[in-house]
Amino acid sequence: MANDGIVLKTEGLTKYYGGVHALEDADFTLHEGEHVAIVGDNGAGKSTFVRQITGVEQPTAGKIFFGGKEVAFNSPIDARDFGIEAVFQNLALADDLDVPSNIFLGREETYFNLGPFSFLNEKKMYKNSMEALERTGVKIPNLRNSIANMSGGQRQCVAISRAASFASKLIIMDEPTAALGVQETTQVENIIRGLKKQGIPLILVSHNLRQVFNLVDKIWVFRRGRIAGMLEADKTDGNEVVSLITGVKTGVHENASYI
């Protein structure tokens, strides 16, 4: 398969949890530089889909192609090695650690390699964290404070900066603004716009249709564990999206240009 400008492609991606069919037969495509949204009701399979393509879980069936090659992510580290970073719904931060420790969690900078007993290069992590936060336009007064002492918005910004500073190929955000206030949401949205300018592809899982229409090129609608359809943001409206989410309307698949 040639690359065709396709970053990520799934074929028949399926995930069962015991008898629960959380995701069935998902065919999904993401092109270079593209920002897309995944929308759907609760239990539609959005987060399940994200967990499969980030290596947090392994699919029951189906194929994942990344950069034109078939891949099998056995863990989030595998996905990371391909340049995929994710911001998870439940704020994957360690509360008792400070900002640099969180940004570099699981890939700490060390002076020399002694396995788990390698000495941490705190200075370098601090400096790189400052740069990462600056790049994403995040202002955090004291990086040495533990995350527990920060507001929800600051915490989310740290999580996003972490993903943004390491993602070279793809960034995935699962409900990044769900728990945030208006001002903080705006800040996160600005970070996303910045990523668009840098040309880093993004998959945004969101319930907020206004946000989706403001930020993305395409909208993928999930319903009851299946992909109900794909809509281009500038050729559709909220009504059509909602009718796909609720199942009033089906079968937009055929009209979409890529499928």
Partner 1 sequence: MTEGTVTNQAEPVAAPATVEGGKRQRSHELNALMGLVGIALIFEILGWVFQGQSFLFNAQRLSIIILQVAVVGIIAIGVTQVIITGGIDLSSGSIVGLTAMVAMSFAQVSTYPRAVYPNLTDLPVIIPVLIGLGVGLGAGLINGALIAYTRIPPFIATLGMMVTARGAAKWYTRGQPVSFPTDSFAAIGQGMTPVFIFLAIALLFHVALKYTVYGKHTYAIGSNESAARVSGISVERHLIMVYAIAGMLASLAGIVIAARGLTAQAGMGTMYELQAIAMAVIGGVSLSGGRGSIVGTVIGAAIFGVIISGFTFLRLSAYYQEMIMGAIIVAAVVADVYRQRYRTSAR
Nearest residue (CB) to partner 1, 29 versus 47: 47
Residues with Cβ < 8 Å from 98, sequence gap 6 or more? 143, 144, 145, 146, 147
**Contact map string, positions 29 to 58, toward partner 1, x by CB under 8 A:** -------------------------x-x--
Name residues contacting partner 1, limited to 161-220 (CB under 8 A). Answer: none
Q: Which is nearer to partner 1, 29 or 52 (CB)?
A: 52
Of 163, 98, 99, nearest to 136 (Cα)? 163
80 binds partner 1 (CB under 8 A): yes
d(CA 88, CA 56): 10
Stretch that binds partner 1, among 73-81, 192-200, 205-213, 222-230 (CB under 8 A): 73-81
- With CB under 8 A as the contact rule, the residue among 1, 2, 19, 106 that binds partner 1 is 106
**What φ, ψ does residue 248 adopt, rounded to 5°?**
-65, -40
Residues binding partner 1: what is the number (CB under 8 A)? 47
The answer to the question of residue 71 lying near partner 1 (CB under 8 A) is: no
H or E stretch covering 244: helix 238-246
**Measured torsion, CA atoms of residues 101, 103, 107, 108, in degrees rounded to the nearest 10:** -30
Instruction: Give the Cα-Cα-Cα angle 255, 257, 259 (nearest 5 degrees).
Output: 85
Q: Which residue number, 25 or 122, has a Cβ lying nearer to partner 1? A: 122
Distance set, CA 161 to CA 164, 166, 169, 171 (Å): 5, 9, 15, 11
Is residue 18 involved in binding partner 1 (CB under 8 A)? no
Binding site for partner 1 (CB under 8 A): 54, 56, 75-77, 80, 86, 88, 90-98, 101, 105-108, 110, 114, 116-120, 126, 130, 133-134, 139-146, 148-151, 153-154
